[in-house]
Amino acid sequence: MPINSKIILEKKQFSIVIDRLCYELIEKHGLFENTAIIGLQPRGIYLARRVLKRLNEITYNNSITYGELDISFYRDDFRRGNEQIVPSEMKINFTVENKKVVLIDDVLYTGRSIRSALDALVDFGRPDKVELMVLIDRRYSRHLPIQPDYTGITVDTRSNDKVKVEWKENNKADAAMIISD
Amino acid sequence: MKKFTQKHLLGIKDLSQDEIELIFETADGFKTVINRPIKKVPSLRDVTIANIFFENSTRTRISFELAQKRLSADIVNFSASSSSLSKGETLIDTVNNILAMKVDMVVMRHPAPGAAIFLSQHINANIINAGDGTHEHPTQALLDAFSIREKLGKVAEKKVVIVGDIMHSRVAISNIICLKKLGAEVMVCGPTTLIPKHIESLGVKVETDLMKALNWCDVANMLRIQLERQDIKYFPSLREYSMLYGLDKQRLDSLNKEIVVMHPGPINRGVEITSDVADSKHSIILDQVENGVAVRMAIMFLLASQKQ
């Protein structure tokens, strides 16, 4: 763990928060007959896969529509940033036409990734409704009018802070932290 | 972390192994894009590309054009036969005039070796070499290697034989350099008159017996005889060439293993390859064409992605 970092979500809190998010989803989506859960590549997929697994366990429903969306080719900082854009796998083998879609990402910050995701999503059809779930909402830092529908925790950060989420699926212990300069 | 730092794609020799792998990883993403109902992404919507072809082309030109359209770029097409070149304008003047119309990227095919390099030294735009004489054809080499990787899982340690007119083929040169960079073993095979002297210095094996070459390889890339570039006769007749170096069903069946058959196109059916082989399950010729669009999308995406 880097020196200037502060844990904001510990290992044992992960399952509590994810359980709550799942029950909120069930409250709104019932049997998930017309709902698709879509994780955002590359980092949102860990939360999305965990949410899907818990939903399967809680609702005894193994047929929830699930996909993973890659936004590399839709980003608005193309030709503007210094970071190398490397695409991840796009795994959506269904159309979202008339479906209720729940987009899942780990951290919501400026909202630009979500805007790109909305662009990418409509290439798979016209969804009936799109909702957003995030594990961590960095509030008061949006560049676009985008807000989450389901939030794990809300944090206040400065613009030069970094918020990082580590997952045991990615060979790290479950943890979320703020790293300051 | 792999990083793409090229401003132009002039030849395979300028690319690092990491950059080639990054092109492939990006092309994987584009291959899923071109196989879904909406085949378009908005990445290059603020990029204008000129396709300048001083030599005939079907596959490469259409492939580039489709790739550009799938990336949402604006494009202008230009072919030498219908241009002011026939009125005596120089290459630089022609291209500078096109650039004055605010073009960001130029895809050029030209009969003179080094034409793309010359252009890159005089013009401020991303240049992609779509074939310069007998010199290089980098996008073909990349899509060939990508197709081998897709079919066999990897390129490293695979044995690839390039058969035919090595002397006049830019595809052969670019393929050799690309495959060697990715760790494959490469052999060239053909009549001695069509194999350039000192080709061994590129690290390739040379074989004049087609059956020996086929028994050695995992992949056979069959090249066309480039009659339009041959100033003298290099072999007695096409019929004799075809008997000695043409790939037919009988030769393929006599091998005690399965090999992958490739061809960069255009095919001269019955000369370097017979129809039953070109259309057989061993052949990945049409996969090469499909992959060409994805690989070219990746190249233009990576070239355009550098900060402006």
Segments making up each domain of chain A, as ranges: 5-77+84-179
Confidence of residue A1 (pLDDT cuts 50, 70, 90): low
| Torsion angle of the four alpha carbons B59, B62, B63, B67, in this order, in degrees rounded to the nearest 10 | 180
Q: Which of A69, A77, A86, A91 should be substituted to probe chain B, the one whose Cβ sees the most B Cβ atoms within 10 Å?
A: A86
Using the structure block, give the residue that is written with the tokens 């009125």.
Answer: B87
Question: What is the dotted CATH code of the domain comprising B138-286?
Answer: 3.40.50.1370
Alpha carbon of A93: minimum distance to chain B alpha carbons (Å): 9
| Per-residue pLDDT tens digits for B15-59 | 999 999 999 999 999 999 999 888 999 999 999 999 999 888 888
| DSSP-derived pairing of the beta strands A100-108 and A129-138 | parallel
Q: How many residues in chain B?
A: 308
Q: Which residues of B touch A84 (CB under 8 A)?
A: 1-4, 22, 305
Decide if A68 touches B, using CB distance below 8 A. Answer: no
Q: Is the pLDDT of residue B88 over 80?
A: no
What token pair was written down for B139? Answer: 């996008």
pLDDT computed for residue B82 by the predictor: 67
- Where in chain B is CATH 3.40.50.1370? 12-137+289-304, 138-286
* pTM of the predicted structure, to 2 decimals: 0.90
Using CA atoms, how far apart are residues B17 and B266, in angstroms rounded to an integer?
28
Nearest to A84 among B1, B28, B29 (CB): B1
Determine the topology of domain B12-137+289-304 in CATH. Rossmann fold (3.40.50)
Using the structure block, give the residue that is written with the tokens 């010729």.
Answer: B285
Nearest to A82 among B33, B40, B307 (CB): B307
Q: Is the pLDDT of residue A118 over 90?
A: yes
Q: Which helix (H) or strand (E) holds B173?
A: helix B170-181
pLDDT computed for residue B2 by the predictor: 83
Q: Which of A84, A88, A93 should be substituted to probe chain B, the one whose Cβ sees the most B Cβ atoms within 10 Å?
A: A84
| Per-residue pLDDT tens digits for B158-185 | 999 999 999 999 999 999 999 999 999 9
B47 → chain A, closest CA residue: A79
Q: How many residues in chain A?
A: 181
Interface of A with B in 6-65 (CB under 8 A): none
Question: What is the dotted CATH code of the domain comprising A5-77+84-179?
Answer: 3.40.50.2020
Identify which of B48, B193, B238 has the alpha carbon closest to the alpha carbon of residue B126: B48
ipTM: 0.83
Say how many C-beta atoms besides its own lie within 10 A of residue B171's C-beta: 25
